[in-house]
Amino acid sequence: MEGMMKMGDVNHHRIKTNGIWMHVAEKGDEQGPLVLLLHGFPDTWFSWRHQIGHLASQGYHVLAPDLRGFGDSDSPPSPTAYTIFHIVADLLGLLHHFNHQQVFVVGHDWGATAAWHLSLFRPDKVKGMVAISEAGRAEKSFAKYDYLTVMKKFWMIEKVVSPPGMEFIDCLETPSVLPPWITEEELQVYADKFQESGFTGGLNYYRAMDLNWELQAPWQGSKVTVPSKLIIGDKDIGFGGTKEYVDGDVFKGLVPDIEVVILEGHHFIQQEKPKQVSDQIISFLEKLTAT
């Protein structure tokens, strides 16, 4: 697979931020512009294995953390510890630790939700934002992704001790054989990690959704003003609702400086079409860096 990164190709850190220990994969020139890569569910920093090296080779300082509840980062037991405010505060502590005042942020799935809200709450910290497979921000009206079937499967295996193995892929709308965008070796990386961590932390993001909507009430109708880009696959499970939403006046009013790119692919588009997604990210960052 083109651009595949080995686990040892990055520096690994475990830092204290916002009351938790967070694992961070790092690569690139520390003096270069910082790019923060935020994974989604059910994932870890490893979901960016194709993008990390490519961005670093272009002179960027790349950080790909395990968000709280995932991988080698702490996983608080209570769902109330997984509001978007906790997640954004984790990221601000991460920036402080690495002594960066501003960042380019790229997020997929829940990581994109975190990127939207970092941009919403602290636009002074964000030079540009790329959201992948998630167009929602602070508007409850856009809770259109139907994850219920997937969630039921994960709830059933949440307490399972043995690694989910192929069940992990089955939950992600894939056939009984591996899709071309992931190898058995890569799948085993996930299986081993989730055997250690379980799915409780990741599922707590969903358990905290109602609390999130309540706490975000003061931001309803507020705008994301930082330069933004949305990348989504035309076969993504939420593409229908997304297309209707991003073509509408509500979204354009909430995110006035937005570029939308639709690629041929599915939900895990940064792994399925790594070169295309990497090129889209780089072109966006280069445009902003040049201005």
Tokens of 3: 């651009």
Tokens of 5: 């990164």
Q: Is 247 a catalytic residue?
A: no
Tell me if 263 sits within 8 A of 273, measured CB to CB: yes
CB proximity list for 115: less than 8 A, separation 6 or greater: 36, 38, 105, 106, 107, 129, 130, 131
The CB density around residue 286, as the number of other CB atoms within 10 Å, is 11
Give the pLDDT confidence score for residue 82 in this predicted structure.
96
Q: Is 109 a catalytic residue?
A: yes
State how far the Cα of 13 lies from the Cα of 204, in Å rounded to an integer: 24
Which pTM does this prediction carry? 0.87
Q: Which of 207, 218, 186 is nearest to 69 (CA)?
A: 207
Q: What is the largest CA-CA distance in the chain?
A: 51
Give the Å distances, CA to CA, from 235 to 27, 89, 239: 31, 33, 6
Band (145; pLDDT cuts 50, 70, 90): very low
Query: Catalytic: which of 39, 109, 236, 266?
Result: 109
Q: What is the pLDDT of residues 70-79, one digit of tens each?
A: 999 999 999 9
Domains in the chain (CATH in brackets) are: 7-290 (3.40.50.1820)
Q: What is the pLDDT of residues 200-253, one digit of tens each?
A: 898 889 888 889 889 998 998 899 999 999 999 988 877 776 777 788 888 888
Q: Is 206 a catalytic residue?
A: yes
Q: Which alpha helices (H) appear in the chain, and where do they start and end?
A: 49-57, 84-97, 110-121, 148-157, 166-170, 184-197, 200-207, 209-215, 239-246, 249-254, 269-272, 274-290
Give the pLDDT confidence score for residue 6 in this predicted structure.
55
Burial (CB count within 10 angstroms: exposed 0-12, middle 13-18, buried 19+), residue 170: middle
Answer yes or no: is pLDDT of 158 > 90.
Answer: no
The arithmetic mean of pLDDT across residues 275-282, rounded, is 97
